[in-house]
Structures are given as structure tokens and as C-alpha cells.
Structure 1
Amino acid sequence: MSVKSHLLRYAAASAVAAPLVWTPVGALEPVRSDEIVVTASPLERPAEETIIGVSSLSGEALQRNLANTIGETLRREPGVSSTYFGPGASRPVIRGLGGDRIRVLSAGIGSIDASATSPDHAVAVEPATAEKIEIVRGTAMLLYGSSAAGGVVNVFDGRIPTTLPEDGVDGALRVGGSTADDGVEAAGAFDIRLGELGGGALVFHGDGAYREAEDYDIPGFAESARLRALEEEEHDDHDEEEAFGVLENTAFETKSGAAGLSWIFDRGFAGVSGSFADTLYGVPGGHAHEEEEENGEAEEEGGVTIDLRQRRIDFRSEVDGDFALFKKAKLRVGYADYEHKEIEPSGEVGTVFSNEGWEGRLELIDKTRSLAGAALDGAVGFQWRLRDFSALGEEAFTLPAKSSQYGVFAVKELTTGPWRFELGGRYENTSHRVVETGFERSFDGLSVSGGVGVKPTKSLFLGVTAFRTERAPSTEELFSNGPHLATGAFEVGDPTLGKETALGVEAAARILTDRFVFRINGFYTDYDDFIFEAQTGEEEDGLPVFQFMAANAAFRGFEAEFEAELFQLGAFDIHGDAGIDYVRATTRGQTDDDLPRIPPLSTLVGLEARSEWADLRAEVEWAADQDDVAAFELPTDGYTLVNAYLTLRPFATARRLSLRLSGENLTDEEARLHTSFLKDVAPLPGRNFKFAVRGEF
């Protein structure tokens, strides 16, 4: 047995036999991380030195939070909630903003699906094979366009390799299951070096994922107590049997996979990948409609199922060199053919959504120059998006339309001593054309931002950013006009909507030491003609009418995080962390009405014990009551969820094999997300135990 094996065995034994001894803090591993993020700026700065709010999720934290959708995977991050439409569809909500204002990217290129069209549409990006997820809170319009007015989620899945694998091959495999929904999952990925070519090496990537689950368990009634009371008040003879204990129509099956090939050389890489995603999932909530039978009686049916497929091709390249004024060029291009069918309980296809799209971006990174003794860096870029979208069927709620978007942007950064000054701008042209009538709307948008950051001491960073942005309305906001069975709404757009203009400021402070990290971001944004979807109180075709409208509005709030290495207990390092976020959003006028679906004050507190062979974590997730509600919107009760996680690395000679056990919502509490259209008919799952085995090679 090797010395290393003896030491590992001794560490494991000492965790049981060691007395409760406090070890000096100086003996602990530092908590501070200088991980580079690429989403917030083409200049690739450390996360702790970005002026706007940015974070990344990777490694053990990503594996612990991994869920069926991107929205649920990120929901516990400060400042992030989700649209939760059951386990099959959930998109991120950042600082109270969702839909077309949040871009979900795959390595810098959009998901090219229909997920921004409606919250019941799943994101065609697979979290199970993600290596890292970066989150930008606040506007990222300068780099990613007007659809990033509220933030960006960038998923890096490694489908186009950028580095050579160690020892010629590496990879990972994960299998697991869950009890609340009888779920099973399997996911794997690998990179293999094929050989040399033209001064570089060829690397092949492959990955695949499969998940399946039944309807999930809930703590009590599917409908909230407030909704049940309202129904009893409106219908004295209301004696319909209520769903209890299980949320119907939440089963799903997902299959995805990809193959990629990269040429990696001294100055960069170039690669291509092809991928597919197939998902069949139910939409909970029992959005019923009535059909007239031959005998004249009406039979109520409910439960829409969505059959989704996407086929996608991506190209990505980065090259370092001497390109006149520039030192690096980055090119990304993606194409996807997407379709999903909304299948009614009878088995008939009600609506077919299709979206064929192209997206590309070119970034050129400046050479560093000296200006009056300061270092001047920067980048320029060009981005284009083409979209051919249609919704066909009796319940198609929006007209087929073709859209194009072209944008150019530039960012500059001046660094002198502890100070950094940033300035950026973007011009963008967006055009939407209705295919059937030829009706077209075109918008020109100009957005600018400027920021100042300073690092007065080694452990302190301060930053402030001001911005003025313009966002063009989306096709759904302009042209929707029809019933949407999956959401249980009759959606109405407004073809006369104009640009949405935002003027805002964001401030950031970070205290960074080897033993603790504190981060806080505060923001205020003032909107002219803020576009949102609100219930009108009217009905059409037996469905409540939701109208896209514009009003002046204001968003303000903050998110804060704290992490600390507390002490050592035997073989375990004890780590604590806490996060809190708050956003308040109202129209701006004589009445200052509340905007719909804004998340409440929430916090998460965790305590973790880490060692060579095991990690243990307990956390409490709390959300306040949300009583600041829009017209026709019911308040939402707060909740407290208790979660526990255990990761074991049992074999001293196989440190890359881990066993994960987790218990979520251990107290079986009813919890509903105010940001979800389905909050009053679809609670989060009840008590759920998960297990997973992960091996790396």
C-alpha cells in the first residue's frame, strides 16, 4: 500500500476517532476563488473583479444542485428564481425578469428554441452534461443583444473541446434516481485524442443523457388554499374532487446527445459539433377545456403533453495572433431546427410550434496599449440572429413570423493603478415580419454603459455601473392573439408597441480574504414603456385574457452572499455560507401598481463539513410571503425547505468515484413559486430523496 493510501485511510479513521478539537483557522483551505468568467466581458476577468453581478456554478456545487431543467438547477442562486412549469419546463428568472429578457446560451450562442415564447416551453439546453454555468445578473445587452436585457445564463457543455485531454482520454459518467417521482437518470461524456494533424491534435467529444420520471408527490392539495377558497366562494356547489398527494401530468422522458470534433493547436482551436434533444413532458395544472360530444353533453378534459425535438449544429473557434489592431479572434456560429407539438388528452395535436434559427457572433480582442501611463484594452464585435417561427393549429396563439437581428458592439477598458474604467456601446437593428400578411415592424436600438471599479486594498473591490438601454419588443409581445391551452390563457399582443427604454445604475462591493468572502450587489432600473403580460379580468373562449401592455416601471433590489471557512473538526473543514435577495417592481405613475410574478424576499443558509473522503451539507431555504401582487393575482404564502446532502468518496485508490445522497424538502412542506403562472395549481415536489453515482476517468 502506498504512503498516500495510508494517509487517506488515517484521515478517514481520524474523522471518527478524533476528539472535538478546534484547529486554528490558518490551517484551513482558503475559500477565495479567482475563477475566470467569459460571459460578462470578452476580456475574461476574474468573477470577483467584474463590476456587474456575475457568478459561476461548477464542480461539487453544480452536481449538488443539478435538476431536470436549467431554471430549477439555478433557482437557489441569489437573485435567481424560475418560471416553474413542472419538471419538464423551467426557465430562469433573474431579478424579477424573465421571458425574452433572459438569454439562455450554449457556450455563447442562444438556445435557438421557443422557450422565451412561453413558460411551458422547455429550454433545449441539457444541464446534465454541463461542466460550468455562468450567470450574469443585470443587463448584458451590449454583448448579447436586447434579449439579454435582464441577464444571461451561459451553459458550457464541452461539446466542442478547447483543451487536450489528460493522458489522451478523459470523461465522466453519472447514474442516479429519485423517490418523489420514481425518477431515473444517466449521463456521460468523454473526450479522446485521436492523433496529430498539421501541428495540432484532433480531439473527439461524445456525450449523452437520459432521464425519465413519473408524476411527482406533493405534500397536500395541488391547488393552493387561496384558490380553493376562491372557487368555493364563486361556486357554492363546487364539489369537484381535488387532486391530492400527486401532481398529475408531470411525468417526462428526455433524451439528448452530441458528437464534436476539434482541432487544437498552439494558438487556439477550431471545432464543430452536432447535437439532438428529444423530450416528452406533461404540463401540470389541468388546464381544461370543454368539447361538445354527439349527445350534446360537454366532457371536461385536461392535461397537455408536449413532444419536443431539436437538431443543432455548432461551430466555434478562437485564435491568438497578430491581427493588425487585435490579438485574438473568437467566432461562434449555431444553427438549430426546433419543433414541439402540444398534444391534447385525446391524443390529437392541438398546436405545432416550429423555430428554425441561425445565430453567430464574432469578437476581436484589442492589443493592450499604453495611454498616458495607463493600460487600454478593449474588444469589438458583430452579432446576428435569424429566426423563422410559426405556431400552427386550432389553438395557435401567435402568428407565424420571421425575425432578424443585427448588432455591433464595442467595449473599452482603461486600467491605472487600482482603478478601472469601462465604457461600451451597442447598435442593434431588429425586424419582425408576419408571414401571412407581410406586416412588418423594425426597430433601431442604441445602448450604452459606463462603469468604474477600484481595488483600494488587496481584499476589497468596489464598482458602480450606469447604463441606458433600448429593447425591441418580441414577436410574441407584438402578434399574440389566441388561446394557449398549455398555459390556460388567451394571450393578446399589441402590434403598436414601441421600444422599451431603461435607465439604471448598479453598485457592487466585495470583501475577499482567504477565510471569508462577502459580495453584495444593489440595483435600480427605471423603465419607460416596460412591456409585460397582465391578466385583464376578461375571458375569451372560456380562458382568462392576458394582454401584453407597456407602462413606465421601476425595479430595485439587491442580492448578497457570504462564505466563510469557520473551523476544523477532526478531519473536517467546517464551511458556512448564506445568500439573500430581494426585488421590488412597480409601475411608475400615480398609483405605483405592483407588477405580476415578482419573486419575494428569499434566503438560503448552509453549513458544510468537508474532508478527503466525505462532504456533508445541511441547508435551509426560506421565502417570504408575497403580498405585493398585481390585479387578479393571488398572494403566495412563504415556505421553509430543509435540505441535506452527503457525498462519499469511499475508495482511497479511486478518488474520482463519488456517491451522492440527498434529501430535499425533508419536512414535506408545501412550497409555491410566485414567479410561476402555475403557482396556485402546481406546488414544488414534496419530500424527495435522490442518489447518484459519478465516476471520472
Structure 2
Amino acid sequence: MNINKRRIKSNPIKCDRRGKKEKCLGLKCVLVFLFSLFLNLQYSFSYVTDSIVKEINNIYKVSGKIVDTETLKPIPFVALHIDKINRYTITDANGEFIFNSLPKGQYEIDISRLGYKERSINIDLEEEPNLILTIKLSLITFSTDSLVVSADNYNSISQITGKSYKLYGDEIRRNFGITLSETIARIPGVEMRSNGVSTTRPVIRGLDGYRVQLRLDGNITQDVSATYSDHAVTMNSDNAIEIEIVKGPEALQYGSNMVGGIVNVIKNIIPNSMPKKLNGVISMSGDLAAPGGGLGIQTNIPIKSQSLSVGLDLNGRYHLDQITPIGTIKNTYNQNTDNTIGLTKFTKWGYIGGSFSSFLSNYGVAPNDKGHLEGVHIELEKYGANIRTEIYPKIDKITRFKIDYNYANYFHLELESQSPRLIGMEFGQTNHSLNFTGNHNALGFFDEGIFGIDYTYTDYIVNGAGTPHSESYDIGAFLVQEIGFNRLDLKIGSRFDYANRNPKIRKVSDLIGKLESKNYYSLSGSISSTIILSERQTVSISSARTFRPPSLDELFSEGPHLASYSFDIGNTNLKAERAWTSEINYEFISSRVMVLASLFRNYFDSYNFFMNTNQTSNRYPDLYYYQVKGVEAEMMGFEGELYFSITNKQSIKSSFSFIKSDYREDENSSFKPIPFTPPLKISTEYTFNFTNGNTGVIYTFSDKQDRVGEFETITENYNKLDLYLQYNLINKKKLLRASTLSTLSINVQNILDTEYYNHLSRIKDLMPEMGRRFMISYKIYY
């Protein structure tokens, strides 16, 4: 159909006859107004709250200096991280650091810097408001200590934090990619679903979509990337401080749907600690297989006279069509800009801050001879606002209250590539969420815990299909407690959820059933324990009962989705998805060897997914019907890592992952493979360390996947070889009147230009993965 001037009512963005969006002046004006209002409210709120709670404030500060053990000279650019409350800082040129605005409690500070032994220190903030430390670090020779540091960057199973994996520093720079999925894809058990280089999304242990939550600074990424494979994630991991995958009881604070895990990118755009001086990072990157690159800057600007800190995160990317061993794939370009400004006011009782963000993107979906000869163009806009406050009351046992409000307005337009351009579909979504959490210290026989409530509202509309205008409400309350014994750490969590799915239109559809309001209730829980067998060995065991209410598209979809080459049919009789999960992990660490192994099982009472019916639409004969069904399903697998230090400067790291997943539609049916299950993957990495960096080679083997679902094609095995180099340099010259640390990372992926296919790619029958790929990243920390 020709594009007519029309509007998605829940979203103030329109389309003209050329398929281009008018500038949303109304929304931008509103955001400017809200920003001005926020500044006034911030000062008013701070003044009023100061007068109310000035007698019960409980603010602490930790500062100090880090020096070399032998020379006693200060060490610049040392990273310090308090993981428990997400505080991060680095030392300046004089080796000095400071943590401002800390709540009372006991904390562990992780300290790391390339070339020095990583260490952790414990602090107790109870009586002394200003703690001053002098910390000594010792040089290492990159053998055993390098091995342990690398392992910690990947995995922290033995820690009772709920975080199964963490990436930061060198690991993030080494694995950098265009998208978040590329950056974390080398973690065992993590794969990448894609519909081209622009639309990747993490898959964890065979689970994707809504089963894997993506979050930025703890707040869920409000977009529609979980719905269809051609929808992009509206977040990049450039300049991330840390990337963590949260599992276990602690994941309950993010929702009852934690079966796949929570991927949380930490940037601290809203500053939560007053920086001592101006600091930040400038990043530049380039890519020859997806020709183009990116440019970004992240900085924190202190305004000490006003107790303010301004945070900026500005990023842009431009990539042309991707190049594969069989040639350039048309219409796979990617252009986006992701920008955020944050502001925090620090007070006597904590802080209050806010941020405003925009994500703008144009990207292409590859052509398909089944109906999209020129491909599909997607134009995307998202605007957001976030207000956050932390209050540290002088209340016995309570250490912190945290309140988070988030707003997001999302819109994207799918356009046929031929001329004149035709609108395929329009997606609009508006989200409001409010979260309240509290932390406490020792209470009864519990050592510490976290509790809270959260609320999310979503207004969702699709034009170009029969999917009705719909809305959803989600309310939850959770409690997570930790108990420590001599050789046993135990964590227990529980959560109650209520969810409502409400179509704005009431009717009876021949395809999806009766459209009416749907309500879902659930009590979920999780328990995990870590047993210390010896100084070198630990075992951890965890189990959970999870809950995921159906999404709006799973219930009410009814129409073609041209960019994903499907005609999607919802199911109004769909039950909530519930699963039992269990996992056992073993860890062994010696002076030269580290072994990590995991066994897991996920059993679903009702596993909801779009199934290919092998029937085509009468109106769209090139599109197959995909209908949502709830089935019994089981997923079992294992993962492992092995680290071995060969010499003082050389080490080998191997990892493997395997999963077997099956489903059946009823008790009388036999089990069948679940579509898009990752194959066995084995990776071996050789690393050579030198004074200011490291270099290495990575060999990857992916087995043939012939356990495929109905109407799914087999993917052959492949072998791939990658090379990387990292080099770090401290620049004594001044940039912005500060010393700088420069890091250069070079990756050469698929050195042999192998033609290979990703089994989780939704367009693997159309195109292979990228060929020989030269990537470079240069960062300047100041």
C-alpha cells in the first residue's frame, strides 16, 4: 500500500509519503521542558528533604592512595569497584582515589590494574564517616596471577553474589564488537541470535527473547527486540564499565522471569559518586567486514561548588553492507546514534539524579527471494528519561533505599526497499516503570538482604497487521536473604507477581480466539548454596521456580511481519510460562590451573514459542503461518572452562558448551527438538602476555547441528581462527590537564576467510557469517 499520512496514537511520530519520519518536535519540546523542570524539582526536593532528614543522614566516604609495593610510587589508572552497591572509580595521576556518598555497611573493594596482582580488601563503614586507606599493589609476571585475573573476569561462581559471569576492563576491550551480543559471545553458554549484523541478541543456554532480560544500569531496555529477530537492541556496550550476567536468587529483584539470566551493562550514566576531578573515556573503532566504525565519548564532570556531577555518554556508528566469503550482502547496513546526558545532585542524605536519552537508528534487513527482493529498511527512534534517588537513612539495620522511575517512547517503521517505498509495519511502544528497593544488614539469622516492589506499564500498538492496540500492567514484590556459615553460604529469594494483558479491542478472531483482558498471578522462588570443600575447591548448587506471563504479541498477534518473513498468529488461551531450573557448579583453583564445570536442567510446564505450521497465508502466499503454542519442554546441558599457565608469560584457556532441548505438545506425543538450539561449541585460546599488553590466537569449533525442529534446516560444522592484540600506554602528556591511559585493541576474526553459518541466524539459508574481519579499537582514558 502507498504510505499515507497517519499516526500511531500512542506515539507522536508520523510518516510522510516518502516513508520518512517528520521530526517529533512535540516530544523533543516536552523532553526539554521536563529537563528544565527536573532541575528545579531536584533543588526543591533536595532542599525539602535536607530539612526533613538532616538528623538521620548516614553518609560515608572512602579515599586513599595506591602505591607500588617495592618503589612506593603512586600507581595511576587503577580500577576500584564496590560490586555490592555498584560504585566504581579509578586513581588519578597521583594514585589517589575517592568514593563519595556511600551508605553504611560492610563492603569488598576489588582492585585491578594491568601488570599488577589483583586484590580485594574488606571495609566496614559503621562508625568512621571518613575512611582513609593506603593500598599497596605488587607487580606480577603474567603467569599464575594473570590466569586468576582472567578467570575472575569471566566467572565468579564461587562468590555468593548471584552474578555468574562478569566482564570488565581488558576482557571487554578484547571482545569488543558492533553489538552487545558480539561482546559477550565468547562466554561459555552464550550464543548470538541474528537477522544480520544490526539485529543480534544474546542467547543463553538456548534461551532467548523475553527469557533473557537486557538491562542498562539495572533498568530494563525498553524496546521490541525480544519480539522478532529483525528488531534491534536499543543499547550499545561501548565504554561499558562492566557487563554482568546475573542468575540465582539475586536475579529475582529484576523479575520472576530469570530462567535465562539478566544481562546488565553498567555505565553509571547517572553518577552515583562525586568524582574527584574530570574523568572519562574517548573511543574510536573501525571494521572492514562491516565497513565503517564508531566514535564515542563518556565523561563525568564534577561541579563541586553545587555538589553536582554531570555525566555524558555520546556514541555514533556507521557501517555499510557486510562482506562475506561469497560477496557483499545487499541492504545489511547499520547507522545509529545513542546519546545520554545525566545529572546528579549529592546531598546530606544520599543523592538524586536523572538522565535523558535518545537512540536513533537506520538499518537494513537482507533481501529474500520469497518476497523481499530488495530487502527491508527499518527506521527507529527511542527517547527516554530516568530519575533515580538513593537515601541512606540512619535506621538500625537499614542501609539504603533506592527509587527508580523510567519512561521510554519507542517507534520503528519497516519500509519495503523498492521505489516507491511502501510501509510494511509500524511499531509503537510507551513504557513507564517504577522500582523501589531497600538493603539491610544483619537481621535475625540473616546476614544481609534486599527487598522491594516494582511496577511496569506498557502501551503497545502495531500498524500494518491485525494485532490490536494493547496494554500491559506488571506488579511485583520480592525478598532476597543471605546466610553465611563456616563453609557454606546460602541465599534464598522469593517473589510475587501480578500481570494483566488488556487488548483495547474486544472481538472474537478465527485465528487467535477471543480478545479479552487476561490476568496472571504467580509466586516464584530461588535458592542457591556455595560449599567450600577446601582452599582450592568449591561446589555451588542452585534451583528456582520461574514465571513468565505471555507477552502482548504472543497473545494478540494476527498479521504479516514482512521483515521476519512470517505471518504471526497469537493464542489468547496461552498459559503463563513456568519452569523448574537446577544447576550444579564445580570450581578448582591451584597455582597454575583453574577448572570450572557446570551441569544444568530447565524443565518447562509450558514453554511458549512461535511454531512454523508449514501453512501459508492466503493473502500473503510467500509467508508461513507461525502460531504460538505452549508445550512441555526440557533443556539439559553442560559448560566448562579450563585455564592452564604454561610459562611465566604464556597460558591456554579452553571452554566448551553443549545443550540438548526437546518439547512435546501433549502426553501422547513424542519429544521433538526445539528449533534454533545451539550446537556443541569448543573454543581454545592461547595468550602471550608482555609488559604493556597481550596477544593471542583463538580457535573455535562448532559442531554440526542436525537435531533440528520441524521445517528447520541442518547447519554444518565449522572451524574458525581469530587473532587479537592489546597494547596499553600511559601518556605523561596532558589531555584536558590530566594524564591519559591509551589502549589499542586489534582483532582479526575468521583469519582463513571460512564460509560458515550461525545456526541461530534467522537468515542463515540466505547468507553466511562475515568473512575475514579486521577490527580496531582505540580508547583514551583520562
Partner AA of 2:672 in structure 1: D
1:10 alignment counterpart: none
Alignment check: 8 A CA contact 2:156 2:163 kept: no
1:424 alignment counterpart: 493
1:272 aligns with 2:354: yes
1:666 aligns with 2:751: yes
1:55 aligns with 2:165: yes
1:333 alignment counterpart: 405
Alignment check: 8 A CA contact 1:532 1:550 kept: yes
Choose from 368, 374, 380 the match for 2:442: 368
Alignment check: 8 A CA contact 2:346 2:352 kept: yes
Alignment check: 8 A CA contact 1:187 1:207 kept: yes
For residue 305 of structure 1, report the CA deviation from its aligned partner.
Answer: 0.9
- Asked which structure has the greater RCO (Cα within 8 Å, sep 6+), the reply is 1
For residue 518 of structure 1, report the CA deviation from its aligned partner.
Answer: 2.4
For residue 679 of structure 1, report the CA deviation from its aligned partner.
Answer: 2.0
Q: Write out aligned runs for 1:178-577 (5 A).
A: 178-197=287-306, 201-220=307-326, 245-264=327-346, 268-286=350-368, 288-289=370-371, 301-323=373-395, 325-345=397-417, 346=419, 347-371=421-445, 375-393=446-464, 396=465, 398-437=467-506, 439-513=516-590, 515-540=592-617, 541-542=620-621, 543-568=623-648, 573-577=649-653
Alignment check: 8 A CA contact 1:108 1:332 kept: no
Q: Write out aligned runs for 1:121-200 (5 A).
A: 121-136=231-246, 142-166=252-276, 168-197=277-306
For residue 324 of structure 1, report the CA deviation from its aligned partner.
Answer: 5.1
Choose from 674, 683, 690 the match for 1:611: 690
Task: Name the SS for the 1:323 alignment partner.
Answer: coil
Task: Name the SS for the 1:127 alignment partner.
Answer: coil
User: Which consecutive residues of structure 2, in runs of 5 or more, have no partner in the other structure?
Assistant: 1-70, 74-138, 507-514, 734-739
Deviations 1:433-490 (A, max 9, x none): 1122272111001112222221132322211112222321111111111110000011
Task: Name the SS for the 1:63 alignment partner.
Answer: helix
Partner AA of 1:643 in structure 2: D
Distance in 1, Cα, partners of 2:150 & 2:206: 28
1:679 aligns with 2:767: no
Distance in 1, Cα, partners of 2:344 & 2:556: 42
Alignment check: 8 A CA contact 2:248 2:527 kept: no
Task: Name the SS for the 1:29 alignment partner.
Answer: helix
- Describe the shift of the 1:266–1:639 C-alpha distance in structure 2 as closer, same or farther (beyond 3 A): farther
- Describe the shift of the 1:258–1:331 C-alpha distance in structure 2 as closer, same or farther (beyond 3 A): same
Distance in 1, Cα, partners of 2:348 & 2:680: 49
For residue 161 of structure 1, report the CA deviation from its aligned partner.
Answer: 1.4
For residue 332 of structure 1, report the CA deviation from its aligned partner.
Answer: 2.2
- Describe the shift of the 1:164–1:691 C-alpha distance in structure 2 as closer, same or farther (beyond 3 A): same
Return 47-56 or 416-425, whichever deviates more.
47-56
Return 505-514 or 108-117, whichever deviates more.
505-514
2:187 alignment counterpart: 77
Distance in 2, Cα, partners of 1:33 & 1:451: 25
Distance in 1, Cα, partners of 2:717 & 2:250: 31
Q: How many pairs are equivalent?
A: 626
Partner AA of 1:663 in structure 2: V
Distance in 1, Cα, partners of 2:399 & 2:248: 29
Q: TM-score, normalised by structure 1?
A: 0.85
Distance in 2, Cα, partners of 1:535 & 1:138: 33
2:655 alignment counterpart: 579
Task: Name the SS for the 1:163 alignment partner.
Answer: coil
Alignment check: 8 A CA contact 1:215 1:251 kept: yes
Distance in 1, Cα, partners of 2:293 & 2:557: 38
Deviations 1:520-572 (A, max 9, x none): 2211121112112221111111211111111111111122122343322xxxx
Deviations 1:416-444 (A, max 9, x none): 21112222111101111112227211100
Return 435-444 or 599-608, whichever deviates more.
435-444
Q: TM-score, normalised by structure 2?
A: 0.76
Partner AA of 2:285 in structure 1: G
Alignment check: 8 A CA contact 2:192 2:201 kept: yes
2:712 alignment counterpart: 633
Distance in 1, Cα, partners of 2:305 & 2:383: 30
Distance in 2, Cα, partners of 1:517 & 1:331: 40
For residue 351 of structure 1, report the CA deviation from its aligned partner.
Answer: 1.3
Partner AA of 1:623 in structure 2: S
- Describe the shift of the 1:652–1:142 C-alpha distance in structure 2 as closer, same or farther (beyond 3 A): closer
Alignment check: 8 A CA contact 2:381 2:412 kept: yes
Return 144-153 or 491-500, whichever deviates more.
144-153
Q: Percent identity?
A: 26
1:593 aligns with 2:672: yes
- Describe the shift of the 1:453–1:181 C-alpha distance in structure 2 as closer, same or farther (beyond 3 A): closer
Give the alignment's Cα RMSD to 1 decimal: 2.7
Partner AA of 1:317 in structure 2: T
Distance in 1, Cα, partners of 2:301 & 2:730: 26
Task: Name the SS for the 1:600 alignment partner.
Answer: coil
Task: Name the SS for the 2:210 alignment partner.
Answer: helix
Distance in 2, Cα, partners of 1:153 & 1:498: 26
Alignment check: 8 A CA contact 1:139 1:149 kept: no
Task: Name the SS for the 2:447 alignment partner.
Answer: strand
1:693 alignment counterpart: 778
- Describe the shift of the 1:609–1:34 C-alpha distance in structure 2 as closer, same or farther (beyond 3 A): closer
Distance in 2, Cα, partners of 1:140 & 1:124: 25
